[in-house]
Amino acid sequence: MADYRDDRYYVDSHEWILLDGDTATIGISDFAQEELGDIVYVEVDSVGENLEKGEIFGSVESVKVASDLYMPVDGEVLEFNADLEEKPELINEDAYAAWIIKIKVSDSAQIEDLLDAKKYQDIAE
Amino acid sequence: MSGYIPTSREKRAELLESVGLKLDNLFDAIPDEIKIKDKNFSGLNAQGLSEQEIIAQLTNLAERNQRVDQYDSYLGAGFYDHYSPAVIDHIIGRQEFLTSYTPYQAEMSQGTLQAIFEWQSYICRLTGLDVSNSSIYDGASAAAEALLLTCRQTKKDKVWVSEGLNPEYLATIKTYFHAAGLEVEIGALNEQGTAAGTYPSGDDYAGFLIQSPNFFGIVEDMRELVKKAEQNQVLSVVSCDLISLAMFKSPGEVGVDIACGEAQPLGIPLNFGGPAVGFLAAKQKLMRKMPGRIAGQTTDTEGKIAYVLTLQAREQHIRREKATSNICTSQALLATAATIYLALNGRSGLKEVAEQSAAKAIYLHNKLIQTGLFEAIYNKPFFREFAVKLRYGGSLDALNKKLLEHRVIGGLALSDDVWLLAVTEKKSKKAMDDFVALVANLIRHENVLGG
Amino acid sequence: MKYQTNLIFDLPQTGDNANRILKKCDVIKPNFAEFYGEHLLREKDLNIPNLSEIQVLRHYTNMSAKNFGVENGPYPLGSCTMKYNPKVNENMANLPGFRNTHPLQPTETVQGNLTLLYNLEQQLNDIFGMDHFTFQPSAGAHGELTGIMMIKAYHEANEDFERTVMLIPDSAHGTNPASAAMAEFEIREIKSNADGLVDVEDLKQKIDDKIAGIMLTNPNTLGLFEKEVKEITGLIHEAGGLCYYDGANANAILMQTRPGDMGFDVVHLNVHKTFGTPHGGGGPGAGPVGIKKILEPFLPKPVIKKLDADQTKFILDYDRPQSIGKVRAFTGSFSVCVKTYAYILAYGKQGLAEVSEAAVANARYLLERVRDSYHVPYQEPAMHEFIITAAWQKEKYGIITTDIAKRLIDYGYHPPTVYFPLIVQEAMMFEPTDTETLEGLEGLADALNAIAKEATENPDLLKNAPHNMSITRPDETKAARNPILKV
């Protein structure tokens, strides 16, 4: 049974976003991690770029699936979680601790369009 | 029963009836309007032929060709007639290698997978690079794929290619790049026939590509390529010859990012140009952007060494339109043949092949110049191929035609008066002496050049 | 039998034996350092081992024993058409008269080669209902790319630059969208309906003036014949697009119907599928591409033509200003074409019709034999291949498709294609082909039924399969996380 957290928001493409002032961390949901299976590689080549909501900021790969990662809100990609370069399995171990990117949120009004844990759980399952 | 079908129509009908189906209804899903009715065809025989008849027909066609083992040939320009040791055909003729599919089921494909792993290892050792794929269609498409890789990695849409590249390869790159909406800029050679001093500047290029030995056989100094590429933050690519790497510095040693090329010289028959076998190797940082299959080493559930196809998330069957390439076929069997060639020759044998080819090319070049009828067009060092020019003009086509009558297939006429000639370790001194004497005689005494 | 596990690099080395294979150099080797300059020359010898002939032979012979070929037993890999590869065709391709010809020889010295390619083109035109074929593409996917490039060139020649969309069904091979993307097309996916066929209503919705064409496989990847194919190609042509036939499943229709008659403008073949050339563990293949007249100006260069003055002589025509250019060096995988030609000669028109009949009959029979043991997702009659799934076994016993596939190995059969097409969960696609024997079909059916029974009684037997190969299941996750790609 997948885990859902109330402290953060979700989008239907299975990313979560955890706000901290005007910055935020983004990762993939526990449900998504289960669906993908053993994650073998995380690629982010958008650090330093300003991306819009819905744009691709990277991808995660398991042995037989590759899945693009989408921005939940507009923002500048500040950092890629370097731990994932060597240990992509951290996402399987704890999808909510293993953030993938840190961003600077450029339009906080967009937060209202995001899904809470309950709504996301309904969509995911 | 036709051809190789092991069951008779009667048996088929019987089998189908046993499960409630009818032979006559098999194709009911095909609408009547598009079914083949009684059509007569011009190209296709009505009936099949027996094995004996097939052999007779094909032998007849094969005998209508003139062949390089019966004629004295000086053709190269991308395909070279090196000696293929007898062992190769015996191993790759084994049905376990010959008839198996792409190794999706690793447990029943360890032979193919290990062979690919060994090929990748050999290619890395020869090119001095970190990662090789399992092979690619040919040298030309490998060059195109290598340049597409530079565009993917740098997210730029223009590449620079030296005109010293084989024209067949250049044409292929142009075709791929036109389709992809990307730009190819061609850099003319300098007066010595190399890329030295011809590199462009600017950071809007994804990659620079040169060939070494280049189309005119000249060994390029890759150090300038690497320096210029680094200065402009561009990836460096070299289309290289694997046999020559037994003598010359490898691309990886000099700092080149990507090496690609044609492995046909490693004991693969000429076969009128195909099938061929391309290779592609790169630095570690480009690993996940590589096109094509890649085999990797892992362990099984009991901890034994095992081989699998890996990094598959790059590929078309998973990524579909976002894949690194549409390629699914490698040239596995020919890559295995080339691997066996390398295993049989070893470092000593490969070096001997390279040195003999070079020594013989130098010998032939000097002999031709000594006739006084030809001049060198470039004075730079060539490997097993070189271009010479007729000193007093005339038509090389006429000379080549006349040579055929003497059972000689001359060099490639690049223009009316520029001749590209290649030799390998197979060529004997006597053959070259006779050839030069014949050419001199035809020009001096039979006036074949006209004028 | 004890399997060796060494890599070639692990074997004990012998001394320099270069002259066992090569004759001694009969010209004087010059001073290379002087001729080339030290800066170009390698400082140390290559790091590759010197070995003896018997070491190399044993090494690769033992490795081959860890493979499974068509001559070992049934190879029902769906969509791959692993039929028997006639031995005589290998002999023919290796005739010295073919093998020892250089691609740049004057055309008058390779009339045998050119005649063969010309005749093969005529045969393929007849079989597929097309007007021309090119032999330059080296494989099916390469043919796809070539065909798509010609479609692009056609629209460009018409100055129709806005046609940037390629329609592709959701059940298509991954190469279709990947090839179209390499030619800069945007992919628009068409849904399959509940019967597993193209949803024509959905297609109509997705046609507009931006479409360049459609890529279709028929029978499709579910093994079902697209009955409405004429309507589909008609709709596309009406909208100004061209129709591309993915020939992956052509074995099912040989001499029953033709892509040309279905309304297709371009077709690619995989000769290892349809015409029994060996797959070689992943190549070399050949991917001839057939086209209708309207695309003739765009064919890759050179094109084989009859000489105007003498209709028995052939030339290579490079003077083709609208050609897409080249997709590889020279004229293509010639020796693979020799095998294709020999194959077609062995059958003729009647024989090829029997090939498709036997292919379809074998698939139908096998499906009926296992229908009660597995979930069958589509009820339309299958052609040359069919899909069953592990849905029942998964729900009740936690057995997945992989387990069934791996258990089949224990019975001495190659597994089917698994987890494809992507639109079917736990898919297993079987294609017994026209050359499967009676005992092969019965054995395969018995094994599949036995495995379904084992799933209920002893699921671990499946989960731990295979049990008798040189390795058990490999750790693919480890391979991808920490790639070891060479030694």
Q: How far apart are CA B251 and CA B146, in angstroms?
A: 14
**What mean pLDDT, rounded, does chain B reach?**
95
Among the ranges given (B107-121, B434-448, C109-123), the one the predictor scored with the smallest mean pLDDT: B434-448
Is residue C1 situated within a structural domain? no
Q: Contact C477/A38, CB-based, under 8 Å?
A: yes
Q: Report chain C residues whose CB lies below 8 A from the CB of B412.
A: 104
What are the tens digits of pLDDT across the range C128-166?
A: 999 999 999 999 999 999 999 999 999 999 999 999 999
Both C358 and C422 in one domain: the answer is: yes
Q: What is the mean pLDDT of each run of 10 residues along chain A (125 residues)?
A: 91 94 94 91 93 93 87 96 93 96 92 91 88
Is the Cβ pair A63, C477 closer than 8 Å? yes
Q: How far is C100 from chain B (nearest CA, A)?
A: 5
Residues in chain A within 8 Å Cβ distance of C481: 38, 40-41, 88-89
Question: Chain A partners of C477 at a C-beta cutoff of 8 Å?
Answer: 38, 40, 62-63
Checking if the pLDDT of B38 tops 90, the result is: no
Residue of C nearest to B405 (CA): C109
In chain C, which residue's Cα lies nearest the Cα of A88? C481
The whole-number pLDDT of residue C4 equals 63
pLDDT per residue as tens digits for the range A108-122? 889 888 999 999 999
Mean pLDDT of chain C: 95
C474/B247 CB distance under 8 A: no
Give the pLDDT score at C3: 58
Say what the pLDDT of residue B317 is: 74
Q: Which domain holds residue C335?
A: 67-487
Write the pLDDT tens digit of every residue in C302-339. 999 999 889 899 999 999 999 999 999 999 999 999 99
Q: Would the pLDDT of B257 be above 60?
A: yes
Does C395 share its domain with C480? yes
pTM for this model (two decimals): 0.96
> Which pLDDT value is given to residue C391?
95
Q: Does B317 touch chain A (CB under 8 A)?
A: no
CB A41 to CB C480 under 8 A? yes
Instruction: Please indicate, yes or no, whether residues C23 and C83 belong to a single structural domain of this protein.
Output: no
CATH of the domain at C344: 3.40.640.10
Whether B451 has a pLDDT exceeding 90, the answer reads no
C410-455: per-residue pLDDT in tens? 999 999 999 988 889 999 999 999 999 999 999 999 999 999 999 9
Total domains in the fold of chain A: 1
**pLDDT digits 0-9 by tens, C461-476:** 999 999 999 999 999 9
- What number is the average pLDDT over the span B7-17? 96
Q: Within this chain, do residues C207 and C336 fall inside the same structural domain, yes or no?
A: yes
A and B: number of Cβ contacts within 8 A: 19
Query: A40 CA to chain B: closest CA distance, Å?
Result: 9
What pLDDT was estimated at residue B313?
79
pLDDT of residue B102: 93
Residue A71 belongs to a domain: yes
Neighboring chains of B (3 or more beta-carbon pairs < 8 A): A, C
Q: Are residues C242 and C317 in the same domain?
A: yes
- Domain with A92 in it: 9-108
Residue A125 domain-assigned?
no
B320 in reach of chain A (CB within 8 A): no
Give the end of a domain, one of C64, C90, C106. Answer: C64
Question: C212 and C187 in one domain?
Answer: yes
Listed residues C46, C64, C82: the one ending a domain: C64
Instruction: Check whether residue C358 and residue C346 sit in a common domain.
Output: yes
The answer to whether residue C3 is domain-embedded is: no
Banded model confidence at residue B88, pLDDT cuts 50, 70, 90: very high
Closest by Cβ to A65, choosing from B288, B314, B318: B318
Mutate to test the interface with A, among B153, B319, B324 (most CBs of A within 10 A): B319
Percentage of chain B lying above the pLDDT 70 cut: 99
Q: Is C480 in the A-facing interface, judged by CB distances under 8 Å?
A: yes
Q: Is B437 on the interface with C (CB under 8 A)?
A: no
Domain for residue A121, yes or no?
Answer: no
Cβ neighbours of B99 in C, within 8 Å: 69-71, 82, 85, 278-280
Cβ contacts (< 8 Å) between B319 and chain A: which residues?
66
Write down all domains in chain B, each with its CATH number in brackets.
Answer: 72-82+346-445 (3.90.1150.10), 86-340 (3.40.640.10)
> From chain A, which residues contact C within 8 Å (Cβ)?
38, 40-41, 61-64, 88-89
pLDDT of C1 higher than 60: no
**Number of CB pairs, chain B paired with chain C, less than 8 A apart:** 711
Residue range B35-63: mean pLDDT, rounded: 92
Q: Is there a single domain that holds both residue C245 and residue C370?
A: yes
Whether residues C30 and C76 fall in one domain:
no
Mean pLDDT, residues C78-84 taken together? 95
The pair of three-digit structure tokens given for residue A46, joined into one six-digit string? 């958008």
Answer yes or no: is A99 within a domain: yes
Establish if C41 belongs to a structural domain.
yes
CATH of the domain at A85: 2.40.50.100
Domain boundary among C27, C46, C64: C64
| Interface probe, candidates C36, C53, C67, chain B, greatest B C-beta count within 10 A | C67
> Is residue C382 in a domain?
yes
Instruction: Count the domains in chain C.
Output: 2
Does B27 sit within 8 Å of C256, measured CB to CB? yes
Asked if residue C2 has pLDDT above 70, the reply is no
Does A4 reside within a domain?
no
Q: Does C367 share its domain with C295?
A: yes
Q: Give domain status of residue A25, yes or no.
A: yes
What ipTM did this prediction achieve?
0.97
